[in-house]
A and B are shown apart, each in its own frame.
Chain A
Amino acid sequence: MVSRALTLATLLAAVQLSGCSVLRSYDSELQETNQQLAAGNIDAALALLESNNKGEQKDLLYYFEKGELLRSKGDLVGSQLAWLSADSVVLQWEDAVKLDTGKYLSQFGSYLVNDKVRRYEGYDYEKVMLSTQMALNLLAQNDFDGARTEIKKTHEREAVIAELRDKEYLKREEDAERQGIKTEYKDLQGYPVASLDAPEVVSLKNSYQSAFSHYLSGFVYEALGEKGLAAPGYRKAAELRPNTPLLDQALLALDKNSAKPGESDVLVVVQSGLAPARDSIRVPLPLPIDNQLVIVPLSFPIIRDDTSTAPLSEIYLDDKALALTLLNSTNAMSRRALRDDMPGIILRTSVRGISRGVAQHNLNKTNPMAGLVLGLASAVVEGADTRTWRTLPDQTQVVRLRLAPGEHQLSLPTRLGGAQVKVKIDRPYQVVSLRVVGNRVFAGGPAVEVAPQAPAQAVAALK
């Protein structure tokens, strides 16, 4: 009787779990949303996002994605509102970290909870990119003072993250030593190690500092006449991306007043592609269960590249080609975040695998049926966390130039659809932001006007 009740309870737990967010496939939800975005159906993409987030309590990811979709639509006010909601979630996280870092780390490092069941807190680079994207929204409306506030927030956020990660890595090393887990991601058989060891990933100083964010800081401070703050912006950008002439030049030009009267200092920002997806891969790992080494298949996250948009190296201004300088790659940052997180993921997954293995082993002895159900439930539930901000642009490239006030024509290479954007220059300093997904260009604000593009294509639903 007792064993039947136990079996039933285990079965019920499995059914309940399958109904909850554990089985939510964020990857397929956003794959469809991004297809709509790339096809130019932004309203359809927004409708999909809403239909996938019907609950009253929206999570951070919902606001991340909504802000980016509304930005692509040209609704900068709506985008900013959505991102302000995301920002308040990030601020709560910052407060929790600042108030008691130790407590936060011990909660986050809990071995009992699967990563994908945790409340989504956003990756560090997403938090930094959030305030950067918010600054771009404000700059598209020529609000440099507002952008300054967002930029200052980015510096402060970076400092909180840096301190937290310092403590986290130290704690993790101690935990791994205590638990006796020595596995590294390089030891995982069949795991795509090369993707985490790529030169563009290893060369990053960390996963969250963006050369683009700092360069943009420099530009905004310079525009506001605060050279004392502009200099560290350009300097930090140059440290994060060494040997980039654009960055070295910005620092040198800061002390020279090379602007000719009547000319505008214009920064063209081209953000293309989409952030990579996170997928789950099963890797068999030998774990010590009941004094025996048992091979247990465990799930680990991997990064899957976005292929929606062809690489872009130049744009045309009034039919003259302008070379773009890459300052930010979300793909590389995302890989770096995973690379840095992998020791913690391995530790948590292994400890959970061991405790599950022990529980199943004990259950098998008393009730093989319940043991089987637990095994099945574990197989269903166990999977890597695949949530990540997917509409975030992958590459951020810039070109800085001096332009005469008036109207100018920006265009994309013909292999990317050759979209035309009319730009009105009427300020001493101006930022022009373009978003490229697939063959489409999106832009918002009073200074830009995208010429009509091919009608949006219908996208067949995946489901």
Chain B
Amino acid sequence: MKKQVTLKINNVPVTVDEGTRVLDAARAAGFHIPTLCYLKDVTNDGSCRVCVVEIKGMRNLAASCSTVVREGMEVFTNTPKVKKSRKTTIELILSNHEKKCLSCVRSGNCELQALSLEYGCDPVAYEGVTKKYLPDDTNPYLVRDNNKCILCRRCVAVCNKIQGVGVIGPNGRGFNTHIGCAFERSLDTVPCVACGQCINVCPVGALTERDNTHEVLEALADPDKYVIIGTAPSVRVAIGEEFGYPIGTDTEGKMVSAIKALGADKVFDVDMAADMTIMEEGYEFLARLKDADAKLPMITSCSPGWIRYIEYYYPELIGHLSTCKSPQQMFGAIMKTYYAEKFGIDPAKMVVVAVMPCTAKKFERTREHQSASGYPDIDVVLTTRELAKLLKSQGIDLSKMPNGEFDNPIGEGSSAGLLFGATGGVMEAALRTVYEVVTGKEPEKLDFKAVRGTKGIKTAVIDMNGTKVKVAVAHTLQNAKTIMEQIKAGTADYQFVEIMTCPGGCVNGGGQPIHSAKVLNTTDIKTLRAKAIYKSDKKAKIRKCHENPVVKKLYSEYFGEPNSHKAHEVLHTEYKKRTKFE
């Protein structure tokens, strides 16, 4: 047990572990202290000064997020001096913040707005010079508008500490300080991986995804277009949050009905394409295992942020990547080839919309070698947030919708495909199939618990009738980097590696509903959403990709067998080395 420290907070004795911050001690004791720049496990630089408290014997107010408790300390969290200081701080931040709240996408979900209300701030208390910046909208996935930035640096901390990418940081000094890239380059000319984690932690509207909702509305309004909307596994366990459901609620049926109410011609489950990914990737892996010259470990290729990362930072290891397209791209490719042929639809008139928990998918759509039919596999990518926004804009309340079902004949997905949403899910889905292919029988237990959970890097050895397969699962690019360095050093003793860009995997992707630091600091949202996925898997009828009747039909009617020539043409892709600061 850690050494205990006793202090007084607002005259109430409190005992906590040594090393605890004043903020956490106060919260545990039931005293609310507002914060702005603080984010648990990510940053406590104390740069915003909103969480200040009075500590007896200290001359100045202290930032409670970065001050460690001491024995006998006397802390006061709500004195007039403290309240006045916080109010002034917020008003000063507001003085250089573009207050376009009426049209801001974060209005109502903005931490600065909430604080301003809580402290009764005058938004124009300090009028004076304001900084003007040109928003950076040079890339297909996100927009950075520094006019709204309040310099909290949460985005910087996530980019550096969680992803180990570090393409953004504070440039300049004093009033000229702004968050930007090296040499004031735009985001499209630096090695940004498009993960969008910066958006998820931005307390205001300075970082948003590129909005593509109008493209969907235009397509839906055009009678000549055949609009197919497909949703990724993680969307169904998160979109409910935008309509008042608790975090970790699976609203698949209501979501499907809501999208149908939008007027889409077909609503399909991208889980089906995840199943196809497992077939292609699983057989690719087995072929590599038998080939003495093949590159091992083989690494998954579903997460487009990760793909960008390896192309920028470890291009010499690209040969380790599976050549499989991601489920999103396989989905679009199958729609515009097999489905279009089967039902006599002109792929030129098809608009395939993918709803994803991800911002990097918006980039992935634009990659080369992603148009199997001659037309782009995917036409529009919406994030989970954008789908919610689109539904709201059309007056559709998801919570009131009946439970609908994905359209057939291609709507069915196995629950193994659903697992793709959580870190370790692709590996588990692959193992369920690969095990059976190798041994000819079902694994004793379908649940591969060793690859579940949010530990940074998980490893396991699976015995398949004497063939021992060593696997590793990593999430966040910081952990991916560790594995890449192991491969380079020749110490990576694995044959199969799953890498997901975002912490916790897609359930916590850069396109998922945004929660304030108040929620993030007390709730493990990635685990709650993942739980909803595992719960659905547990009660599903089809729990293995190869048993999905849609998958069987696709191979018997169109692709022949996994990794066939046709499958390679439609479902596989290529990668390229990227130069960091071209």
Q: Do A and B come from one complex?
A: no
